[in-house]
Amino acid sequence: MTVLASIALSGYRIAITRSREAVLKEDLFRIRDAIDQYYSDREEYPKQLYDLVSYGYLRAVPLDPFTESTESWRTVLSEMDATDFRSSGIYDIMSGSTGTAIDGSAYADW
Protein backbone atom coordinates (compact mmCIF):
# COMPACT_ATOMS: atom_id res chain seq x y z
CA MET A 1 0.00 0.00 0.00
CA THR A 2 2.85 2.38 0.82
CA VAL A 3 4.48 1.77 -2.55
CA LEU A 4 1.26 2.62 -4.38
CA ALA A 5 0.82 5.77 -2.30
CA SER A 6 4.36 6.94 -3.05
CA ILE A 7 3.88 6.33 -6.78
CA ALA A 8 0.61 8.26 -6.72
CA LEU A 9 2.20 11.13 -4.78
CA SER A 10 5.08 11.34 -7.24
CA GLY A 11 2.68 11.42 -10.19
CA TYR A 12 0.62 14.11 -8.47
CA ARG A 13 3.67 16.33 -7.93
CA ILE A 14 4.70 16.00 -11.56
CA ALA A 15 1.17 16.84 -12.70
CA ILE A 16 1.12 19.97 -10.51
CA THR A 17 4.51 21.08 -11.86
CA ARG A 18 3.40 20.51 -15.46
CA SER A 19 0.25 22.56 -14.90
CA ARG A 20 2.27 25.43 -13.37
CA GLU A 21 4.64 25.30 -16.32
CA ALA A 22 1.68 25.54 -18.71
CA VAL A 23 0.34 28.55 -16.81
CA LEU A 24 3.76 30.22 -16.88
CA LYS A 25 4.09 29.73 -20.64
CA GLU A 26 0.60 31.15 -21.21
CA ASP A 27 1.22 34.14 -18.90
CA LEU A 28 4.51 34.95 -20.63
CA PHE A 29 2.82 34.73 -24.03
CA ARG A 30 -0.03 37.04 -22.94
CA ILE A 31 2.22 39.63 -21.31
CA ARG A 32 4.62 39.68 -24.25
CA ASP A 33 1.69 40.06 -26.63
CA ALA A 34 0.37 42.98 -24.55
CA ILE A 35 3.82 44.62 -24.61
CA ASP A 36 3.90 44.27 -28.41
CA GLN A 37 0.39 45.75 -28.75
CA TYR A 38 1.32 48.63 -26.44
CA TYR A 39 4.41 49.36 -28.53
CA SER A 40 2.44 49.13 -31.77
CA ASP A 41 -0.18 51.60 -30.52
CA ARG A 42 2.07 54.06 -28.69
CA GLU A 43 5.46 53.66 -30.42
CA GLU A 44 7.17 53.25 -27.05
CA TYR A 45 7.49 50.46 -24.54
CA PRO A 46 5.63 50.56 -21.21
CA LYS A 47 7.61 52.00 -18.30
CA GLN A 48 6.19 49.42 -15.88
CA LEU A 49 3.98 46.34 -16.10
CA TYR A 50 1.08 48.14 -14.48
CA ASP A 51 0.93 50.49 -17.51
CA LEU A 52 -0.40 47.49 -19.45
CA VAL A 53 -3.26 47.29 -16.94
CA SER A 54 -3.85 51.06 -16.79
CA TYR A 55 -4.23 51.32 -20.56
CA GLY A 56 -6.38 48.18 -20.87
CA TYR A 57 -3.92 45.79 -22.48
CA LEU A 58 -4.22 43.38 -19.52
CA ARG A 59 -6.94 43.05 -16.90
CA ALA A 60 -4.33 42.46 -14.21
CA VAL A 61 -0.68 41.55 -13.94
CA PRO A 62 -0.77 37.78 -13.45
CA LEU A 63 0.87 35.93 -10.61
CA ASP A 64 4.05 34.10 -11.48
CA PRO A 65 2.87 30.51 -10.79
CA PHE A 66 6.17 29.51 -9.18
CA THR A 67 6.84 32.55 -7.00
CA GLU A 68 3.11 33.24 -6.46
CA SER A 69 3.74 36.98 -6.73
CA THR A 70 3.05 39.74 -9.24
CA GLU A 71 6.18 41.56 -8.07
CA SER A 72 8.70 38.86 -8.96
CA TRP A 73 8.58 39.23 -12.75
CA ARG A 74 11.98 40.19 -14.18
CA THR A 75 11.72 42.85 -16.85
CA VAL A 76 14.12 43.38 -19.73
CA LEU A 77 14.46 47.02 -20.72
CA SER A 78 14.78 48.15 -24.32
CA GLU A 79 17.93 49.88 -25.40
CA MET A 80 17.81 53.59 -26.04
CA ASP A 81 18.24 54.68 -29.64
CA ALA A 82 20.84 57.43 -30.11
CA THR A 83 18.59 59.21 -32.62
CA ASP A 84 15.45 58.88 -30.53
CA PHE A 85 15.68 60.42 -27.09
CA ARG A 86 12.67 58.69 -25.56
CA SER A 87 13.48 56.75 -22.43
CA SER A 88 13.63 52.98 -22.52
CA GLY A 89 10.78 50.78 -21.39
CA ILE A 90 9.94 47.13 -20.82
CA TYR A 91 10.89 45.16 -23.92
CA ASP A 92 10.53 41.62 -22.55
CA ILE A 93 9.60 39.76 -19.38
CA MET A 94 10.93 36.68 -17.60
CA SER A 95 9.90 34.63 -14.59
CA GLY A 96 11.47 35.56 -11.29
CA SER A 97 11.65 31.90 -10.29
CA THR A 98 15.03 30.32 -9.65
CA GLY A 99 13.63 26.84 -10.27
CA THR A 100 14.32 24.36 -13.02
CA ALA A 101 11.67 22.97 -15.34
CA ILE A 102 10.96 19.28 -15.88
CA ASP A 103 12.91 19.50 -19.16
CA GLY A 104 15.99 20.85 -17.31
CA SER A 105 15.75 24.48 -18.47
CA ALA A 106 15.55 27.36 -16.01
CA TYR A 107 12.16 29.07 -15.68
CA ALA A 108 13.96 32.41 -15.67
CA ASP A 109 15.17 31.71 -19.23
CA TRP A 110 11.74 31.09 -20.77
Prediction pTM value: 0.85
Classify each residue of 1-12 as buried b or exposed e, where b means 16 or more C-beta atoms within 10 Å of its C-beta: eeeeeeeeeeee
3-state secondary structure at position 57: coil
- Better-predicted residue by pLDDT, 81 or 21: 21
Query: What are the tens digits of pLDDT across the range 18-65?
Result: 999 999 999 999 999 999 999 999 999 999 999 999 999 999 999 999
Q: Calculate mean pLDDT across residues 2-11.
A: 72
Q: CA angle at residue 25 from 23 to 26, to 5 degrees?
A: 65
